[in-house]
Amino acid sequence: MESECGCARLAMAGVLLSLIPLTSPLSAFNECDFPAIFNCGDSNSDTGGLSAVFGQAPPPNGETYFHAPAGRYCDGRLLIDFIAERLGLAHLGAYLDAVGSNFSHGANFATAGSTVRPPNTTRSQSGASPISLDVHFVQFSDFRSRSQILRRRGGIFQELLPKENYFSRALYTFDIGQNDITYGYKFNMSTEQVKEYIPDVLAQFSTVVRDVYALGGRSFWIHNTGPQGCLPYVLDRFLVTAAQLDEYGCGSPFNDAAQYFNRRLKEAVIQLRKDLPLAAITYVDVYSLKYTLISQAAKFGFEEPCGNDGGKYNFNNAMRCGNKKKIVNGTEILIAKSCQNPSLRVNWDGIHLTEAANKWVFDHIVDGSFSHPPIPLKMACHRLDN
Ligand SMILES: *[C@@H]1O[C@H](CO)[C@@H](O)[C@H](O)[C@H]1NC(C)=O
Ligand SMILES: *[C@@H]1O[C@H](CO)[C@@H](O)[C@H](O)[C@H]1NC(C)=O
Ligand SMILES: *[C@@H]1O[C@H](CO)[C@@H](O)[C@H](O)[C@H]1NC(C)=O
Ligand SMILES: *[C@@H]1O[C@H](CO)[C@@H](O)[C@H](O)[C@H]1NC(C)=O
């Protein structure tokens, strides 16, 4: 009897252990208390960088949450905004925004169109931002040293710039790579040719993570790249045959390239964990969430997965949100449908997700269930070796 009970208890303990091996180490950890965020990325996390340099994102961008354009290519908030809010921090100002920025809790180096590798073309030739990831790092490095020189002057500088110890305690977030993939397609490369240069893209990405670590960065939160083959603008711009569309109307070659990028990114992150012993590096699979949302939009309460206004791929480049479409009695009328009820749409302008879609993705990544290792956002300073 006794021994049977003991066995049952042991068996029970075995079941419990096998069910919770991933969450139990976390119970020993405290929440991280990140005092700042430094972000690198493209339009998926640009909060005003490109706007500061090349002109403001036009209305109706920003209408849902900010009630005016706010440097974002979205009707409202981006993942990085939800991340800041959840960490109890104000939204991040763009490093390039010289007017009115408060960097006491971090800075955003992202610009729409940013690539990891420096582009060999101008913005008007390819749409690639000249402010690529290597530039983000130079800006960060400069910001790190000069902010401390200025802080010593006291007064307002103390209020607008981060304390020195924030740089090691901050969360460093990355959401970049999408434009490196489309870059090749814009030069008529095949998917195979695009895949050939992806290792070079990731080598340059890893270099920047190492360089941030060398300057004291310890906590990294890295989003993988989304299913760009589901973006109406990609389908509209690049030649796609019917055979290349999957059952949800997404272009398989582009998603294939994105998934290849993500596999290599995950490998790069695993290598970085080995090389940087004091770093906590979390890889976050936003691809799966975005693909799930786009392919099963109705199930999650969204009306239309993609697109703005008919056409072969439900995309009309002339009707992107913000394009002035028609003048009626001297008033500009915007008629792209996606701009009319963004809370029910996944895609805002054929390229970027709506605030509602971003919120949905955020709600699924915040608890760590799409992270590798499965660390929640607020625990992302902890290294979980597995
Ligand atoms: C700057 O931001 C910090 C943190 O959000 C806030 O406490 C401070 O009052 C702000 N300072 C100014 C001058 O806006
Ligand atoms: C730009 O050109 C250089 C020299 O040909 C090449 O090594 C590099 O990969 C190119 N960059 C991109 C983004 O294509
Ligand atoms: C790509 O191919 C199209 C169609 O053949 C051609 O018009 C365009 O000039 C090519 N672009 C580049 C950068 O080679
Ligand atoms: C334009 O203005 C005229 C004169 O006020 C009016 O009759 C007409 O209905 C207006 N058209 C539209 C589309 O609002």
Question: Looking at this protein, which amino acid is placed at residue 371?
Answer: S
Number of the ligand 3 atom closest to the C-alpha atom of 188: 1
Residue with tokens 């693909």: 291
Best probe residue, ligand 2, of 114, 116, 117, 120 (max atoms within 8 Å of C-beta): 120
Identify the residues whose C-beta falls under 6 Å from ligand 1: 90, 102, 104-105, 159-160
CA-proximal residue: ligand 4, atom 5 (nearest): 329
Interior CA angle at 100 toward 98 and 101, to 5°?
A: 70
Ligand nearest to the backbone CA of 156: 1
Identify the residues whose C-beta falls under 6 Å from ligand 2: 117, 119-120
Cross-sheet strand order for the sheet of 219-223: 106-108, 37-41, 171-175, 219-223, 280-284, 371-372
Q: Which of 105, 136, 352, 372 is catalytic?
A: 352
pLDDT of amino acid 373: 95
CA distance linking residue 120 with residue 99, whole number of Å: 30
Number of the ligand 2 atom closest to the C-alpha atom of 200: 9
pLDDT of amino acid 15: 40
Length of the chain: 386
Phi, psi for 341 (deg, rounded to 5):
-140, 65
Ligand nearest to the backbone CA of 179: 2
Tokens representing residue 210 in the block: 């190492």
Identify the residues whose C-beta falls under 6 Å from ligand 3: 187-188
Three-class secondary structure of residue 333 per DSSP? strand
pLDDT of amino acid 240: 79
Interior CA angle at 129 toward 125 and 130, to 5°?
A: 95
Domains and CATH numbers, the chain: 7-379 (3.40.50.1110)
Q: Which of 349, 371, 372, 382 is catalytic?
A: 349
CB 219 within 8 A of CB 230: no
Phi, psi for 15 (deg, rounded to 5):
-60, -45
Cis, peptide link before residue 373, omega less than 30° from 0: yes
Ligand nearest to the backbone CA of 121: 2
For residue 339, how far is its CA from the centre of ligand 4 (angstroms)?
Answer: 23
CB 167 within 8 A of CB 142: no
By the 10 Å C-beta count (0-12 exposed, 13-18 middle, 19+ buried), 293 is classed as buried
Per-residue confidence in pLDDT tens, the chain, 386 aa: 333 333 333 334 334 444 444 555 677 789 999 999 999 999 999 999 999 999 999 888 999 999 999 999 999 999 999 999 999 999 999 999 998 899 999 999 999 999 999 999 999 999 999 999 999 999 999 999 999 999 999 999 999 999 999 999 999 999 999 999 999 999 999 999 999 999 999 999 999 999 999 999 999 999 999 999 998 888 888 877 888 989 888 999 999 999 999 999 999 999 999 999 999 999 999 999 999 999 898 899 987 654 555 555 555 555 555 454 545 556 654 445 556 678 888 888 888 999 999 999 999 999 999 999 999 999 999 998 75
pLDDT of amino acid 55: 95
User: Which CA distances in Å does 39 have to 52, 113, 288, 329?
Assistant: 16, 15, 22, 44
CB 296 within 8 A of CB 357: no
pLDDT of amino acid 381: 98
352 in active site: yes
349 in active site: yes
For residue 41, how far is its CA from the centre of ligand 2 (angstroms)?
Answer: 20
DSSP single-letter state for residue 116: S
pLDDT of amino acid 73: 95
236 in active site: no
pLDDT of amino acid 9: 37
For residue 302, how far is its CA from the centre of ligand 1 (angstroms)?
Answer: 37
Q: How many CB atoms neighbour CB 188 within 10 A?
A: 9
Cross-strand partners of 223: 284
pLDDT of amino acid 66: 97
